[in-house]
Structure 1
Amino acid sequence: MSNPVVIIGTGLAGLATANQLVKTHNVPIVLIDKAASIGGNSIKASSGINGAHTTIQEQQQIVDSPELFLKDTVKSAKGKGSEPLMDKLSKDSHLAIEWLQSEFDLKLDLLAQLGGHSVPRTHRSSGKLPPGFEIVSTLSKYLKDLAETKPELVKIQLDSKVTDVNIDGERNVTGVQYQDKEGNKHTIATSYVVFCSGGFGFSKDMLKRYAPDLIDLPTTNGSQTTGDGQNILEKLGADMIDMDQVQVHPTGLVDPTDRSAGWKFLGAEALRGLGGILLNPSTGKRFVNELTTRDIVTAAIQSQCPKDDNRAYLVMGQGIYEVLKNNLDFYMFKKLIKKVSLEDAIKEYNLPITAEEFAKDLTTYSTADKDAFDRPLVTKNFGDSIKTSTEIFIGEVTPVVHFTMGGAKINTDSEVVNKEGKPLAKGLYAAGEVSGGVHGANRLGGSSLLECVVFGRTAGNSIANSIKC
């Protein structure tokens, strides 16, 4: 093979594809991105990566299986998406975790149960780094080192926006067109291209086209998330599936000094997964199972909490701080979360309950045999003796545009397909948020990083097998 594989996007999908091609198959690659740095939205992922029937689960005596994970995923998808892709996601999930552990020495030794999951299966490492940052930085370092020592094998090209893919009359990929930051146009000759360019959650134009009711919501997406890959693939004739399925995450953190900001830090789902609760500002009471799927929690905030500012309070105890110290320290540094006593929380957040009532509610939540909202019981995190002086961590949250489930439909080999379900062109692949069919109407927390690894590695293996043929 004389020409390199071109991988568009440097989030985890692109990094997984690149590492699989280079590390396992010794296939040369060009990693290209319009941004000035590597990582995309993946670098900000804060809860972890899913895996079913993993060694870590077995060590912690958690019974899980790909079948149970598939059941949860299909239920969350609400009849949309592609079940064969969901089946592959769940069956390959433990392989993705093992690959990260064995090939890159990532621990991924802690577990959380996020919304919509039947058991704890979202893995992250014990240590100081958030999971997205840890995984992305580890995988990108390997490629950066190779780009220095073996430039014939790895080339990383940033500040370069892909504008088109060349396909000949026999439907073979022949090249990728891009524009550098000075506006100069170039073409890279290649027989294989993998789109890993992310979603479109930052683009008001795309949201107006596919989900106009969400256009006024803030977003967690970086400014690079504008659907460039979807637009190119649609023009080429890809089957664009579930493009109107845009996930609104219930817990974007509100900055009290800039409440109307259009961009929000995400309050990691692990905060709720490990025991955090949501309070209605107008009652000071819980109002939803915080561990149901994101769409249901979002709908509860939007229908039950004050409509003027579309917000709720996220409340956590010391036990969560001990597990997610780095997350909470960062949120407190940014003044998005405060540590206060129950008495002070009542005053500062104008909750319409007494401190004694607040303490009683938290005690009931922490000790009841059955939760009032049928939430799976989790480890106590507010302490054994909750008093009005007990300190909690509290912040305002609001629903935010977070993830676009739709995109160019792929098959289980990560090939982009046309409206007839056939490969759109020989050598054309996609992985990650640019693709569609993996999540249906609602994505489970922890499955975005997983999707990137599973289908990025699949694209790499499919290309390597095609080259050998």
Structure 2
Amino acid sequence: MSKISLLERRQFIKTFGAAAGVAAGAAVSGPVMAVSSSSVGVKWDEEVELLIIGSGFAGLAASIEATKRGCKDVHIFEKMPYFGGNSAINGGLFAAPGTPLQQKEGVKDSVDIMVADQIKSGRGIADVALLRHVASHAAEALQLTIDAGAEFHPYLQQLGGHSVARTYQTAVSCGAGITQPLYNECKRIGVKTRNRSKFEGFLLGQDGSVEGVKMRVGYYFGKDDSGAVKNIRAKKGVIVATGGFAQNVTLRMAQDPTLTSEVGCTNAPGATGEGMYEMFRLGAIPVHLAHIQSGPWASPDEGGFGYVSNYSIFNFPHSVAINCKTGKRFMNEIADRKTRADAELACRDSQGNPMPPILISSFKDSKNHPNTAKVIKYNVGWKFESLEDIAKHFNVPVEPLKAQINEYNTYVKNGKDEQFGKDMTKATEMAGPFTVVRLWPKVHYCQGGVKVNTKAEVIDSFSGKPITGLYAAGEVCGGIHGVSRLGSCSIPECIVMGMTAARSALSA
């Protein structure tokens, strides 16, 4: 394929670039979109062996795996001033089948069971081959983080949509408990990490292969003319691990008009999707962009991911979610994310205005999570002695609330939820004192992105074959999870596919 046809035939996707300019403008001032060009006649300012764009879970894992396999010149480029990307502020939840903790706790699990759970959540359109690839290597990826120094709580959690407990959580209850050890390991083994470096486009050989990138070094986020552009050749290939586009308001509204700038978001400011756009320009297949997930565990009383999110994730199995208008439960507290987010969004007052529901937990249970003290300290959660106190504070009808709690306690005793079919394995009887937080979904994860195969190769929409020299891993990829992603499945995906991308690049 000639360089002319490679660049000119991609014009079908120009609208994505136009949208990005407007969208990212909602988050930063006047961004300039990346534009790829021919490498013919280009003066290379620098040459590296393997070039990785993005320093989150996927990029860090790729760099460690590549170095372990003998690559001596690995470079990570990060556009923000800090490393870790959006991964550093995620929930730090890692799902894997067949782990030591499962064996210790007597949990029967397998790759097949984990994949089946994800297929169900994906509503039939998830990529089964990719799910199976990730699940098959999830325990290996978990071990990579532990070897690097990541520490986890000594217990498993059963998150919504998972049929068994298979989720580890970092001891610090956030993604930094993984990104920091991985980053430190990268520094220890000699990976070159370079921040304030913004991707400006690919440089393409005459055969259409990706030979390198244009990188704006010395870049300051929001100042698109800052720094200077350098042409960097990548001998072994380019791995794009730039994350999702949840902060790109225009693009997410194009997919779902309800996701306006007034809707909260858990992502870091840099999650605007430029790397994804430029792969689309090259002809990468856009997959499932309309499937944007909101976290049903978020709070309207704090910004970003906050403290409440992990608190709620931990407490859902032994708590009740109450509609403040009725005083009754309205959902299965451990259903998949989309089911719960949709149910929460349906909680409205008589005028149709949002009426955030509440999550009630027994303090005897909630106190076991380290975030409980923080949500109370920072006034995003409250402790009450009685149901009457809860009803008065949140203007909930007290008699229906008391009846609901009594009814729920009979489900706990009988081991069967007659209302919503909740798995009662980890449920406990509700008794005061109680802790309470408010719930309201926030935009959290983009299921959509570029199509990759199980080798992390980016697939060309015209030929159906991999784009030579180009690999992608993490949230920038699309179609893996389908309509809805199960919680704690993004970290194993990012790390497994990052490792996979490194292996593929070095074996090409």
Relative to the length of structure 1, the TM-score reads 0.89
In structure 1, the partner of 2:185 is 142
1:375 aligns with 2:419: no
Matched-pair contact (CA < 8 Å) for 1:81–1:241: no
Unaligned runs of 5+ in 2: 1-46, 220-225
Asked if the contact 1:249/1:400 (under 8 Å) is kept, the reply is: yes
Tell me how far 1:87 sits from its aligned partner.
Answer: 1.5
Q: CA deviation at 1:26?
A: 3.8
1:315, distance to aligned residue in structure 2 (A): 1.7
Alignment partner, residue 346 of structure 1: 391
The code of the aligned residue for 1:303 comes to: A
Q: What code does the residue aligned with 1:459 have?
A: A
Task: Give the alignment partner of residue 280 of structure 2, picking from 221, 229, 234.
Answer: 234
Amino acid at match of 2:337: R
Pick from 408, 413, 437: which aligns with 2:479? 437
* Partner of residue 360, structure 1: 406
**Change in 2 beyond 3 A, CA 1:170/1:439:** same
2:380 aligns with 336
Distance 1:437-1:29 versus aligned 2 partners, 3 A rule? same
3-state DSSP class of the match of 2:468? coil
1:295 aligns with 2:328: no
**Aligned-residue offset at 1:95:** 2.0
State whether residues 201 and 221 of structure 1, in contact with CA within 8 Å, keep that contact through their aligned partners in structure 2: yes
Give the corresponding residue for 1:164. 201
Give the 3 Å change call, closer, same or farther, for CA 47–316 of structure 1 in structure 2: farther
Structure 1 gaps of 5+ residues are 147-152
Question: Is the contact between residue 280 and residue 312 of structure 1 (CA under 8 Å) also seen in structure 2?
Answer: yes
Query: Aligned partners of 1:196, 1:433: CA distance in 2, in Å?
Result: 8
Cα contact 2:327–2:396 (8 A) shared by 1 = yes
C-alpha separation in 2, matches of 1:323 and 1:132: 20
* Deviations 1:219-239, CA, capped at 9 Å, x for gaps: 111111111111111111101
The 2-side partners of 1:400 and 1:79 are apart by 24
Deviations 1:313-338 (A, max 9, x none): 1222224434312x223323332111
Decide which moves more: 173-182 or 238-247. Answer: 173-182
Residues 73/203 of structure 1: CA separation in 2 closer, same or farther (3 Å cut): same
Please tell me whether residue 244 in structure 1 is matched to residue 281 in structure 2. no
Letter of the structure 2 residue corresponding to residue 394 of structure 1? V
| Cα distance in 1 for residues equivalent to 2:411 and 2:434 | 14
Q: Does 1:175 align with 2:218?
A: no
Residue number in structure 1 paired with 2:127: 82
Matches within 5 A, 1:186-225: 186-191=230-235, 192-215=237-260, 216-225=262-271
Alignment correspondent of 1:414: 456
Deviation for aligned residue 1:108: 5.9
- The 1:377–1:238 alpha-carbon spacing in structure 2 relative to 1, beyond 3 Å, is same
Q: Would the aligned equivalents of 1:314 and 1:394 in 2 still touch at CA under 8 Å?
A: yes
Deviation at 1:25, TM superposition (A): 3.0
**Cα separation, 2, equivalents of 1:382 and 1:188:** 61
Once the two structures are TM-superposed, the CA of residue 80 in structure 1 deviates from its matched residue by 1.9
With over 3 angstroms needed to count, the CA separation of the structure-2 counterparts of 1:27 and 1:79, relative to structure 1, is farther
SS at match of 2:55: coil
* SS of structure 1 residue aligned to 2:491: helix
Does the C-alpha gap of structure 1 residues 239 and 100 become closer, same or farther in structure 2, counting only changes over 3 Å?
same
2-side partners of 1:8 and 1:338: how far apart? Answer: 42
Greater CA deviation, 226-235 or 177-186? 177-186
Q: Aligned residue for 2:23?
A: none
Q: How does 1:95-110 map to 2 (within 5 A)?
A: 95-104=140-149, 106-107=151-152, 109-110=154-155
Query: Which secondary structure does the structure 1 equivalent of 2:441 belong to?
Result: strand
**Alignment counterpart, residue 320 of structure 2, candidates 277, 280, 285:** 277
Deviations 1:416-448 (A, max 9, x none): 111257444222111110011211111000001
| TM-score of the superposed pair, with normalisation by structure 2 | 0.82
CA distance in 2, matches of 1:302, 1:318: 26
Contact 2:48–2:75, Cα closer than 8 Å, also in 1: no
Task: Name the CA distance, whole Å, in 2 between partners of 1:296 and 1:23.
Answer: 41
Does the 8 Å CA contact 1:293/1:444 hold for their aligned counterparts? yes
Residue aligned with 1:130, SS: coil
Is 2:498 aligned against 1:452?
A: no
CA contact (8 A) 1:44 1:132 kept: yes
Residue number in structure 2 paired with 1:150? none
| Deviates further, 329-338 or 188-197 | 329-338
> Aligned residue for 2:168?
123
Length, aligned pairs only: 447
Pick closer, same or farther for the CA change 1:429–1:339 going to 2, 3 Å.
same
Amino acid at match of 1:157: R
Give the letter aligned to residue 206 of structure 2. G
Contact in 1 for aligned 2:150/2:178 (Cα 8 Å): no
The percentage of aligned residue pairs carrying the same residue is 27
What residue identity is the alignment partner of 1:155? Answer: K
**Partner SS for 1:464:** helix
Q: Which amino acid aligns with 2:227?
A: G
